[in-house]
Amino acid sequence: MAEGLLRHLASDRFEAMSAGTEPTDEVHPCAVEAMREVGIDIYDQYPKALSTYMGKEYFSYLVIVCARAEERCPKTFPGVGTTFSWIFEDPRRDEDIPYDSTLERFRVVRDQIELRIRGWLEQPEEELKRHREERECERRERLEEAIAREAEREAAPVGEREAGRDPFRRA
């Protein structure tokens, strides 16, 4: 749905492609119907694996829209400039519910994705700023953890400290 929405809203500025960590055989029928309701035809789209693009294409942006994909997506994706994580609830969960209920979930997620894309298209610098701030926060957390580990190691008794020491590592 995100690919269809980005193509619809900004095909003059972006070439949109989508892939998944575990592609199915077909685009979910509720996704096709939910998009058709807003005038976007994704019937001819088909699920693709990450390997379809990984290392074969260059992308200015990679947008992850599913928590499962965020967990399983490679942390380093060759040929990607900036990665955004815009996590939406997976409307396919609980497959054993009536079609109308599943369709409603797809409508909700479709609308959430559209709002996020529209916001980004209107103010891309805000999204990039937020992204830089998130990365900086993550970097600081890693640094603080490393400092805490080093302090623990330094506080350990000498024998224990030497046991984990690499004699070939420069001081």
State which of 11-20, 67-76, 127-136 shows the largest mean pLDDT: 11-20
pLDDT for 165 equals 60
DSSP line for 132-143 = HHHHHHHHHHHH
This prediction has a pTM of: 0.74
Residue 113 scores a pLDDT above 60: yes
Instruction: Tell me the per-residue pLDDT of 16-67, one tens digit each, with 9 for 90 and over.
Output: 999 988 899 999 999 999 999 999 999 999 999 988 998 888 998 889 898 8
Q: How far apart are CA 21 and CA 4, in angstroms?
A: 18
pLDDT digits (tens, 9 = 90+) for 69-111: 778 777 777 888 888 889 999 998 877 899 999 999 999 999 9
Contact 5, 86 (CB under 8 A): no
- What homologous superfamily does CATH list for 2-122? Response regulator (3.40.50.2300)
Q: Is 86 helix (H, G, I), strand (E, B) or coil?
A: strand
Determine the residue type at 12.
D
Q: What is the CA radius of gyration of the chain?
A: 22
Q: Buried (b) or exposed (e) across 111-139, using 16+ Cβ within 10 A?
A: eebbebbeebeeeeeebeeeeeeeeeeee
- Quick one: DSSP state of residue 20? B
